Amino acid sequence: MTTLKEVRQRAEADAKMHGYALNPDEEMLQGILKGLKRNEERYGYPSCPCRLATGQLEKDRDIICPCDYRDPDVEEYGNCYCALYVNQEISEGKAEVQPIPERRPPQKLEQAYTSGGPDSAPEPAAKPAVVSSASETNLKFWFCKVCGYVCFREEPPHKCPICGAKQEMFSEILLGMNWMTR
Whole-angstrom distance, CA of residue 53 vs CA of residue 58 = 11
Supply the minimum distance, in Å, between the C-beta of residue 93 and ligand SF4.
Answer: 20
Task: List, as one string, the DSSP characters of the chain.
Answer: ---HHHHHHHHHHHHHHHT-EE-S-HHHHHHHHHHHHHHHHHHSS-B-TTS---S-HHHHGGGBSSPTTHHHHHHHHSB-TTSSEE-HHHHTTSS--------S-HHHHHHHHHS--TT-PSPGGGHHHHHHHHHHH--EEEEETTT--EEEESS--SB-TTT--BGGGEEEEP-STT--B-
According to the binding rule CB under 6 A, does residue 81 interact with ligand SF4?
Answer: yes
Q: Which of 7, 22, 53, 84 binds ligand SF4 (CB under 6 A)?
A: 84
Question: Does residue 80 interact with ligand SF4 by CB under 6 A?
Answer: yes
| Residues between 38 and 57 with contacts to ligand SF4, criterion CB under 6 A | 48, 50
Which region among 80-88, 102-110, 135-143, 164-172 touches ligand SF4 (by CB under 6 A)?
Answer: 80-88
Using CB under 6 A as the binding criterion, the count of chain residues that bind ligand SF4 stands at: 13
CB of 129 to ligand SF4, least distance (A): 31
In this complex, which beta carbon is closest to ligand SF4, that of residue 50 or of residue 175? 50
Q: How far apart are the C-alpha atoms of 3 and 16, rounded to whole Å? A: 20
- Least distance (Å) from ligand SF4 to the CB of residue 11? 8
Instruction: Tell me how far, at minimum, the Cβ of 102 lies from ligand SF4, in Å.
Output: 10
CB neighbourhood size of 102 (10 A): 18
Mask: binding to ligand SF4, 117-156, rule CB under 6 A, as x and -?
----------------------------------------
| Residue 104 binds ligand SF4, judged by CB under 6 A | no
Residues near ligand SF4, by CB under 6 A: 32, 48, 50, 63, 65-67, 70, 80-82, 84-85
